[in-house]
Chain A
């Protein structure tokens, strides 16, 4: 098994997969904490479906680079959803459900009508579950993922204190002159970017898991925002790496193996949390 792994590492696409996997796992866990605490996890779910719809349009148009359509569409929807989520008159989650299910149906329909591919079910399946897509990344895609991930991490570090203030108590933040709306908007845009990135790794149906599991796991054990953020990043990277390694060695689908690792970690953290009653850090 080790031999097989070593041999695989000689292929550039395997190395790309590992690099991109780690970066994406890092990004997705960072905002997971905010998403979970702001009760926005449903937005992540909705956006991933939107990204699927956009992906099908891109596929139908046969663009060389899908990101050109998927990224702007998802960002736009993130902003729209955030707006509607705040508006008490239109129920936020109803709007999300409408958009996400609509995008899913529309995307599949488009692919069915226009696709020239002989293996339609396979295409759809890999967009939804990410099956092997991470192993088929081109060098250009690796670069885009790497650059976007670094941008996300830098933004997160620079705005960490503001994100905390807005997440903890939005009213206080607004009352004391913090531009909460601006930062909410920024959070929505960054989430959209992360979702589009993560789609490469685990496919659109499993993104939410990648985003919320590390946060939920560490929140069981740690008691300060900073330790939860740092540890969920570490946990997420660890799960992504082990998931990737296992999937390469055992030939299992990448996305579901990573998510399985996240779920396993969640239960381990539950147990630790229950036993220790929380470490105070």
Chain B
């Protein structure tokens, strides 16, 4: 049984269909890259996979007992209000929330995980800084660390390298590959065709005539 099976999916907003006839399967341990030009519906596809919006037609079937709280997610854009007071550590730790269920507080191991993931993304020294005062690339790394905290089986990334400098970009691709080799399933939207060809096991093209 595949982890995620998408059958004849149509995407869109209200009555406007953006893409239709999308079918693919993702097995445990896959590394899927989704490519396509701007506005072709990649982000919409990811939001639909995550259950944030309903598909217009078609089905998304999850298998292997995949639960929602085993998924990590990096949004393309996070609209955080300008004046939101939140420290980096608080945000990264909130990635562990899915593991908590109804348990009110974080455990020691969850706090440790948050620290490890901040270290991985090289933002340990920013831990007590305010999120909204960071640069775009630093913010991206904070959200990545949060996504890593939430990941147990699947990691969905919407253009993870946008705004990152070349060194960190390279590190990030290596890190994602390592996670993949540890058995985490990766679904990544990217405009970096070279990286897609180099690292992924499958490529899905959205839009154009090959949809």
List which B81-100 residues lie within 8 A (CB) of chain A.
81, 83-87, 90-91, 94-95, 97-98, 100
The reply on A52 being an interface residue by CB < 8 A is no
- Shortest Cβ gap from B196 to chain A (Å): 23
- Shortest Cβ gap from A264 to chain B (Å): 21
A226-B90 contact in complex given A173-B97, A219-B85, C-beta closer than 8 Å:
yes
List which A172-222 residues lie within 8 A (CB) of chain B.
172-178, 219, 222
CB < 8 Å neighbour of B71 from A39, A164, A176, A228: A176
CB < 8 Å neighbour of B67 from A164, A175, A177, A278: A177
The reply on B31 being an interface residue by CB < 8 A is no
Considering the complex, give the chain A residue whose CB is closest to the CB of B83. A219
Per-position 1/0 for A224-244, Cβ under 8 A of B = 111110000000000000000
The reply on B130 being an interface residue by CB < 8 A is yes
User: Is A225 touching B87 in the complex (CB atoms < 8 A)?
Assistant: yes
**A192–B90 CA distance with the chains assembled, in angstroms:** 27
User: Is B75 touching A171 in the complex (CB atoms < 8 A)?
Assistant: yes
**How many chain A residues touch the partner (CB < 8 A)?**
31
Q: Which residues of chain A are near B69, meaning CB under 8 Å?
A: 176-178
The reply on A62 being an interface residue by CB < 8 A is no
User: Is A168 touching B86 in the complex (CB atoms < 8 A)?
Assistant: yes
The main secondary structure of chain A at its interface with chain B is helix
User: Is B87 touching A169 in the complex (CB atoms < 8 A)?
Assistant: no
- Shortest Cβ gap from B147 to chain A (Å): 8
A280-B130 contact in complex given A37-B81, A177-B67, A228-B85, C-beta closer than 8 Å:
yes
**A220–B101 CA distance with the chains assembled, in angstroms:** 33
A168-B91 contact in complex given A178-B97, A224-B85, A224-B130, C-beta closer than 8 Å:
yes
User: Is B97 touching A280 in the complex (CB atoms < 8 A)?
Assistant: no
Q: Which residues of chain A are near B81, meaning CB under 8 Å?
A: 37, 39
A222-B85 contact in complex given A173-B97, A175-B52, C-beta closer than 8 Å:
yes
- Shortest Cβ gap from A221 to chain B (Å): 9
User: Is B86 touching A162 in the complex (CB atoms < 8 A)?
Assistant: no
The reply on A135 being an interface residue by CB < 8 A is no
A164-B87 contact in complex given A176-B68, A176-B71, A178-B97, C-beta closer than 8 Å:
no
User: Is A225 touching B90 in the complex (CB atoms < 8 A)?
Assistant: yes
User: Is A175 touching B68 in the complex (CB atoms < 8 A)?
Assistant: yes
Q: Which residues of chain A are near B83, meaning CB under 8 Å?
A: 37, 219
- Shortest Cβ gap from A184 to chain B (Å): 15
A225-B86 contact in complex given A165-B94, A176-B73, C-beta closer than 8 Å:
yes
Name, among A161, A226, A228, the residue most crowded by chain B CB atoms within 10 Å (CB to CB): A161
User: Is A223 touching B73 in the complex (CB atoms < 8 A)?
Assistant: no
Per-position 1/0 for B46-75, Cβ under 8 A of A = 010011100000000000000111111101
User: Is A223 touching B133 in the complex (CB atoms < 8 A)?
Assistant: yes
Q: Which residues of chain A are near B133, meaning CB under 8 Å?
A: 223
Q: Which 4 A-B pairs have the closest CB atoms?
A: A177-B69, A177-B68, A223-B130, A224-B87
The chain A residues found within 8 Å of chain B, CB to CB, are 37, 39, 157-162, 164-165, 168-169, 171-178, 219, 222-228, 278, 280-281
